[in-house]
Amino acid sequence: MRLCIVGLTVLVAVASAARGRDDRDRGTGGSDRDRGSSFSGAGVDGDNFPDYFRVEVEIQRLENEKGILSNGKNCDVFGGKCDPRVQVFVDVDQPLSPWPGSSESKEYQWPQIFEASNVNSPTIGKSVTRDVCGGSVNKVNARVSVLDVDTATSNDHINNFDCVFDVIPHDVARDAKSAQWSQSFECTPKFQSGKMRLLARQRSYEIPASNCQASSDKDQRQSLSTGMRSAGPHIPGRHDFVRLDAEIVQLSNPQGITDKKVKCDTGNACDPKISVNLDTDIPLARWPGSKTVPNFKTIFQATNQDSPVVNKNITKTFCGGSVAWVNLRADVVDEDSLSANDHIGSFECLFLADYNNFASDISISDWSTTQDCKALQDTDVRLQYRYRIYDVPPTSCGIKASAK
């Protein structure tokens, strides 16, 4: 059985930017409409993001004049220079978590954007992007790993950098042509602070729905856009660290059939197995969304039951990021130990995270009303779900409590 929540594909590229007088005094740049934004300011409205947009981050230059590694030693003991390789991961789910943030999951890759030989301080000038499809962002962290490549031995580590910045709806331009880059800003090194620098800049702009593999159903897309505008937006400084619990409540299959409308078993009931993916990356994309079905997580199995009560949860924590549309995608099969499994159904459980309804603690969080998921097959099999969203302490994201 497949459980899906219709979702927007998320393309996010790192958006900049330190804001305010203190930041200007440090020489950093950013976008702030109160002091003259460098962006076009062409978002859908002042509070909500457009349905489909891209965040683009350019890694501009590495400055490592002394040619040192993260441990302070020289890249080349014989007087040569470094051979830097640069890899970047754009983190929108856990941008404030300690390194490596949400990239720790095996499903994420670190694309290589640059490599050079015998140069300590190269001009890089390469971009990475992330598309946001039906979602929203708040803080973004372009996490940059720099290695010194050695063909004779193992590679050495030069540094890790966190390039953290905010993105607001006002900064999203109508298209790439009209999108302007932010001012350059410095990323934060994990090692050898003050001895090497990494500079970046960012911009964001709308993209066509087709880039997000969005549904071609115009009525559905209009409904989603209306819902997005009615929901409470994420206000930075409030609900920055939240947890989403989504629960499959019950499978209803009174006839005990597969998606071919034949009985699961001629003499017995079905043996249902339910696998899910809590899709917040591209929740509005077509099935199966951000993961292939074999990579969904199995949360429930039963024997000889057509309509079991499930009551199983899947959870996702957002650490400094934002959440908008969510698609709990579910796949249901009838398990068979002697032959291939039979498919019962695929489902999309789509809902909008409304920041007005977030609870300040799990103890006072209420579950939503139980709702039907959208079945992707023409049978009377139903799947029901509910969800809740509540604040968690920063320590749940690996962030140490501040000393008092």
214 within a domain of the structure (yes/no): no
* pLDDT, position 14: 36
Task: Please give the tally of structural domains in the chain.
Answer: 2
* pLDDT, position 322: 87
CA atoms of 168 and 132, how far apart (whole Å): 13
* pLDDT, position 104: 58
* pLDDT, position 242: 96
Tell whether 79 and 198 lie within a shared domain.
Answer: yes
Tell whether 167 and 132 lie within a shared domain.
Answer: yes
User: Exposed, middle or buried by CB within 10 Å (0-12, 13-18, 19+), for 172?
Assistant: buried
Domain that holds residue 90: 21-209
**What are the backbone dihedrals phi and psi of residue 175, each rounded to the nearest 5 degrees, phi first?**
-160, 175
Tell whether 146 and 250 lie within a shared domain.
Answer: no
* pLDDT, position 284: 86
Going by C-alpha positions, the residue among 191, 197, 199 that lies closest to residue 165 is: 199
Measured in whole angstroms, the distance separating CA 135 from the mean position of its chain's CA atoms is: 9
H-run or E-run covering 229? helix 218-230
11 within a domain of the structure (yes/no): no
* pLDDT, position 79: 81
* pLDDT, position 28: 36
CA atoms of 404 and 13, how far apart (whole Å): 35
* pLDDT, position 51: 81
Side chain identity at residue 254, one-letter code = P
* DSSP codes of every residue in 234-265: P-TTSS-EEEEEEEEEEEE-TT-B-TTSSBS-
38 within a domain of the structure (yes/no): yes
74 within a domain of the structure (yes/no): yes
Tell whether 162 and 270 lie within a shared domain.
Answer: no
Q: Are 371 and 2 in contact (CB under 8 A)?
A: no
CA atoms of 58 and 243, how far apart (whole Å): 31
Tell whether 89 and 43 lie within a shared domain.
Answer: yes
Tell whether 29 and 113 lie within a shared domain.
Answer: yes
Tell whether 309 and 166 lie within a shared domain.
Answer: no
CA atoms of 313 and 390, how far apart (whole Å): 15
**What CATH number does the domain containing 156 carry?**
2.60.40.3510
E strand intervals along 32-94: 52-63, 84-91
Tell whether 63 and 134 lie within a shared domain.
Answer: yes
Cβ contacts of residue 151 below 8 Å, gap of 6+?
Answer: none
Q: The pTM is what?
A: 0.78
Tell whether 62 and 202 lie within a shared domain.
Answer: yes
Token match 């790439």: residue? 176
* pLDDT, position 35: 27
- pLDDT averaged per 10 residues, the chain (length 404): 36 36 35 32 59 94 97 90 96 89 66 96 96 84 96 91 93 95 97 97 94 66 58 82 97 97 93 96 89 96 98 95 92 93 97 92 97 96 98 92 59
Tell whether 199 and 239 lie within a shared domain.
Answer: no
